[in-house]
């Protein structure tokens, strides 16, 4: 059960990293100019509400004690009350997180599958016209400015063609109908998801394709590819069973490494398409000085990136038998 031990060790490491992030944020909240109290308590609250909240968060205590309160509250899922929504931040996050995960993971997984697949195919016929055109296309996709492409998607898909909704994740008029069935609702979400997903897909697809292509080209120089040829294997078997599985490994690593960067894109996509996810909530919170909400969203995103990194590492170990935990 060495995998279990590995995961436990990594979880411990992640906990420490997370704790450091929390600590830095806490003290930044206190050192930033202005009254720290005003950052956790909604100026519009009644006196009574304010008393309860300051009590709960220990806001009248010395900084050291407040810090302990802060950590303790975090583990009890108390992130404070959102100024804008007037509801506990934890509840808002719990609502938004699945939406983000739905959109983001679908887009990343689909683009990783498609990108590695096409990258594999074109690497095999390197240096011909198709390869060149697709490579340049992937380069362009990879460097497209995401919010702009998102707006173009909206302009084209929602405005010109009118096929897709402009914003949001659901059509409220459908959801309030009592007779709306689950498949109908799922379809409604899928329909709303197409444009934002296409945006994220386009950006990621290009980079996965490029990484897979160069990883394949490197793998092709390995001795075991020569062995496979000497064995008289057909070319597509060499490509799919020998080259591609090895070439995929560096791609998995780079997916992990670029994850934090991809999250930026996720937040931008959610914002442009008004996708009710956690990234958009963070942008919204920052724009509206909703400090508790911003803090909660940020910490949660950090936790998600950390967890996703662990998933990627475990996946890598699963794909590469040489890795022993």
Partner 1 sequence: MQSLLEVKDLTVSYTTPAGKILAVDRVSFQLEAGRSLGLVGESGSGKSTIGTAILGLLADNARVETGAIVFEGHNLLEADQETLRRLRWKKISMIFQAAMNALNPIMPVGDQIVEAIRVHEPEVPLTAARQRVADLFRQVGIPARRLRDYPHQYSGGMRQRAIIAMALACNPRVIIADEPTTALDVIVQDRILKTIIRLQDRFDIGILLISHDISVTAEVCHQIGVMYAGQLVEIGTKEEILTTPAHPYTRALLEAHITLSNDRQPAPVPGPAADLHRLPEGCRFHGRCRRPDANCRRQTPSWHSLSATHKVLCREAESNGN
Partner 2 sequence: MKNTEIAMTRNRPYWRQALDENWRRLRRNPTGRSGLILLLIFALMAASSFIPPLISPIYNPMHGVDPHISHTTGPSLRHWLGTDFIGRDIFSQLLAGARVAFMVGITAAFMSVVLGVAIGILAGYAGGWADTVLMRLADMIMVMPTLLVVLMAAALFGQLSIWTIVAMIALFRWPGVSRVIRARILSLKQRPFIEAARIAGASHLRIMTRHLLPNVLPLALLYMTFRVTSAIIIEAALAFLGFGDPTTVSWGMMLQWVWKTGHMFQAPYWLLPPGICISLLTLSFYMLARAMDEILDPRLRRRGES
Residues that bind partner 1 (CB under 8 A): 222-224, 226-234, 237, 241-242, 245-246, 249, 319-322
Q: Figure out which of the listed residues 89, 121, 202, 272 binds partner 2, where binding follows CB under 8 A.
A: 272
CA distances from 175 to 99, 195, 196 (A): 16, 20, 21
Minimum CB separation of residue 98 from partner 2 in Å reads: 19
Count how many residues are written for the chain: 325
**Rounded to an integer, what is the distance from CA 46 to the centroid of its chain?**
37
**Least Cβ distance, residue 179 to partner 1 (angstroms):** 52
Please list, in sequence order, all residues whose beta carbon lies within 8 angstroms of the beta carbon of residue 24, skipping any fewer than 6 positions away.
none
- What is the footprint of partner 2 within residues 279-308 (CB under 8 A)? 279, 282-283, 285-287, 289, 291, 294, 298, 301-302, 305-306
Choose the one of partner 1, partner 2, none that binds residue 301, judging by a C-beta under 5 to 8 angstroms depending on kind.
partner 2
Q: Which does 227 bind (CB under 5 to 8 A by kind): partner 1, partner 2, none?
A: partner 1
Sign of the CA dihedral with 271 first, then 94, 287, and 108 last = negative
- Phi, psi for residue 88 in degrees, rounded to 5: -60, 135
Q: In the chain, where does DSSP find H-type helix?
A: 2-31, 36-40, 47-57, 63-75, 89-124, 129-143, 146-153, 172-175, 182-219, 223-230, 235-237, 244-272, 278-287, 291-319
Shortest gap between Cβ of 219 and partner 1 (angstroms)?
Answer: 10
Q: Give contact residues for partner 2 (rule: CB under 8 A).
A: 17, 20-21, 25, 28-29, 32-33, 139-140, 142-149, 151-152, 154-155, 159, 214, 217-218, 221, 257, 259-261, 263-264, 267-268, 271-272, 279, 282-283, 285-287, 289, 291, 294, 298, 301-302, 305-306, 309
């Amino acid at each position: 059960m060495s995998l279990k031990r590995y995961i436990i060790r990594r979880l411990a490491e992640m906990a420490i990293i997370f704790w450091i992030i929390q600590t830095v944020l806490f003290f930044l909240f206190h050192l930033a100019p202005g009254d720290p109290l005003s950052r956790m308590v909604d100026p519009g609250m009644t006196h009574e509400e304010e008393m309860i909240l300051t009590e709960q968060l220990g806001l009248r205590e010395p900084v050291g004690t407040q810090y302990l309160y802060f950590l303790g509250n975090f583990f009890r899922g108390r992130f404070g009350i959102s100024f804008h929504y007037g509801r506990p931040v934890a509840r808002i996050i719990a609502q938004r997180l699945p939406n983000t995960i739905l959109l983001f993971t679908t887009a990343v997984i689909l683009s990783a599958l498609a990108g590695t697949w096409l990258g594999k195919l074109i690497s095999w016929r390197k240096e011909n016209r198709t390869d060149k055109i697709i490579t340049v296309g992937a380069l362009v996709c990879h460097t497209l400015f995401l919010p702009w492409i998102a707006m173009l998607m909206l302009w084209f898909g929602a405005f010109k063609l009118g096929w897709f909704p402009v914003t949001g994740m659901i059509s409220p008029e459908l959801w309030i109908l009592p007779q709306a069935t689950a498949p109908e609702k799922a379809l409604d979400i899928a329909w709303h998801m197409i444009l934002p997903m296409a945006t994220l897909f386009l950006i990621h697809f290009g980079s996965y394709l490029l990484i897979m292509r160069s990883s394949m080209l490197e793998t092709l120089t390995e001795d075991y590819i020569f062995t496979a040829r000497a064995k008289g294997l057909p070319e597509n078997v060499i490509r799919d069973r020998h080259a591609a599985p090895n070439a995929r490994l560096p791609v998995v690593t780079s997916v992990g490494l670029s994850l934090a960067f991809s999250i930026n894109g996720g937040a931008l996509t959610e914002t442009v398409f008004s996708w009710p996810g956690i990234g958009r909530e963070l942008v919204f919170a920052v724009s509206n000085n909703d400090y508790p909400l911003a803090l909660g969203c940020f910490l949660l995103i950090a936790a998600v990136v950390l967890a996703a990194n662990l998933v990627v590492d475990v996946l890598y170990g699963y794909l590469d038998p040489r890795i022993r935990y």
